[in-house]
Structure 1
Amino acid sequence: MMTPNRVAVVTGANKGIGYFIALQLGMSGLFSNIILGCRDVQRGTTAANQIQALVQSKADTKIEFSPLVIGDEATHSTFCEKMKKEFGKVDVLVNNAGFAYKGVDPTPFEGQTEKTLSINYFGLVDFTQKMLPLVRKGSDPRIVNVASMAGRLGQVSSELQKKFSEDSLTIDELNTLMNQFKSGVQAGTYKADGWSSSNYGMSKLGVIAATKIWARQEPTIKINACCPGYCATDMSSHKGSRSAQDGAKNAVIPATTENPPTGEFFRDYEISTW
């Protein structure tokens, strides 16, 4: 079976939801190449081989692993250069890689802020900004940012809600807001200032806000965010009520469906409210 000359990149795809996003994209027959961007070489290589074995009977799609550490800007640049050299474009980018502290982790709240935001928000933003020139060259280009219902707008004060949802908000201004949250945490004033009591929730709120900004700024690209749901993965200590396979569908739908919307938030396989 011949597949279109289209390239998809899925970050954090060596296990869990990202693994099934990559697998389902491969099974769709819509891509000639799917790149798994992962930090762990052994796990990434193993996942690529496993997905390749499952996909090959359905589609003529090549599954590859490429090193990528979201939050490490040097690897962001190296990865993008490799995509530019090998393909000259990226048609679909799924930003799935993420991090969350376990509930039993003894690290204090203020000690969790920097790492959580540096991966889930600032890392995703930097990587996406670097990838945009390649995605603009794609055929029917899409970006899907895996967020969460934890990123709901209502977790911050009404004043902050207006700032995060402002139609004129820019990425630079959003970065400033996220840094203000970090500063408030370190100063111990974040609650009084109207910020959330969830580092993870704030990181995903930032992702959804960034999604809407990019959707306004990039009219040729369909850019959406999604919530996979509470899935049984390592991140949830396998306590989730939804399988990773089913959760992945929330990202695959906006990545593959014909004529999708842009700037929306998908949950439970349909457009939802932020």
Structure 2
Amino acid sequence: MVPLTRVAVITGANKGIGYFIALQLAVSGLFTDVIIGCRDSSRGAIASEEIQQKISIGSSSSTKMHSLPLIIGNVQSHTDFCERLEQEFGSASVLVNNAGFAYKGSDPTPFNEQTKKTFETNYYGLVDFTEKMIPLLKKGKDPRIVNVASMAGKLKQLSSELQTKYTDEQLTIEQLNSLMKSFEKDVHDGVHRQNGWSSSNYGMSKLGVIAATKVFAREEPSISVNSCCPGYCDTDMTSNMGRRSPDDGAKNAVIPATMKNPPTGEHFADFDVSTW
């Protein structure tokens, strides 16, 4: 039986993988309300209405869909969203951090100018929004966080020395932020490769997400916090080159968001706990 109020929040869910995460959570029957956080309010409203219609036609779920404006990477937008969420719903039970950004391979922006925007959305924005959502999650029933990462976030892209720093069991968010800024500085100075860093801004942003997942899991024991890799999906971000459907990829986030007795601090891929 669904508790009086159980709310799920999915960022960047007006299309692609996020859309199907929202749809699957809505039809699960485990939530009274599902909220799409979207930077484009009109697209968010359209997606919310579409999902509501699909629920009405194809399932017995009584979940209500909502769309609220949210720009991940904009601190004021994070604050406004959380304040409105608290006023209208009081709490949240699940947060799926799905919003992400990636430059296309054909983009002419130089590598050292791509780091800032990629990190603002994929890493710093996710961390700040999560920190603001945690008090609301602590008020929720069976609270969970699922961070959508990527196979590009693997540890092996770093030197062994840097891998040790990112996997340190005493690592804090403040220290992790410092590591991420060190990468940014070394990219700016053109010495990132010789200092043991990755050659992928996107990969580093998602590696940071997985590392942050493990820190949050350790620091917030009352919340199940996991990350996932949806796989290489057929979405706008991959220029529709992916071999997996976004509907299928979404399941990798939905599993830790809905399963009974979920683990914490784990990484999911191909529908099960995987290695980092």
Work out whether the TM-score is over 0.5. yes
Secondary structure at the aligned position of 1:235 is classed as coil
TM-score, scaled relative to structure 1 = 0.99
Q: Distance in 2 between matches of 1:235 and 1:3?
A: 35
> Which amino acid is the alignment partner of residue 17 of structure 2?
I
Match in the other structure for 1:73:
75
List aligned pairs for 1:1-274, cutoff 5 A: 3-4=2-3, 5-57=5-57, 58=59, 59-274=61-276
CA distance in 2, matches of 1:232, 1:215: 30
> Deviation at 1:114?
0.3
Q: In percent, how many aligned pairs have the same letter?
A: 63
| Unmatched runs of 5 consecutive residues or more in structure 2 | none
CA contact (8 A) 1:3 1:61 kept: no
Distance in 1, matches of 2:138 and 2:42, equals 31
Deviations 1:210-234, CA, capped at 9 Å, x for gaps: 0000000111110000000000000
What is the CA distance between 1:56 and its match in structure 2? Answer: 2.3
- Contact (CA 8 Å) 1:3, 1:60: kept in 2 or not? no
Give the structure-2-normalised TM-score.
0.98
**3-state secondary structure, aligned to 2:237:** helix
- Structure 1: any 5+ residue segments left out of the alignment? none
Q: Distance in 1 between matches of 2:55 and 2:32?
A: 11
For the Cα contact (< 8 Å) 1:8–1:31, is it kept in 2?
Answer: yes
C-alpha deviations, 1:14-62, integer Å up to 9, x for none?
0000000000000100000000000011110100000000112421111
Task: Kindly state the Cα deviation for residue 3 of structure 1 after the two structures are TM-superposed.
Answer: 4.2
Cα drift, residue 137 of structure 1: 1.1
1: CA distance, partners of 2:123 / 2:66 = 25
Q: What CA deviation, in whole Å up to 9, does each residue of 1:90-149 have, x standing for no partner?
A: 100000000000011111100100000010000000000000000111101100000001
Q: What letter is aligned with 2:212? A: A
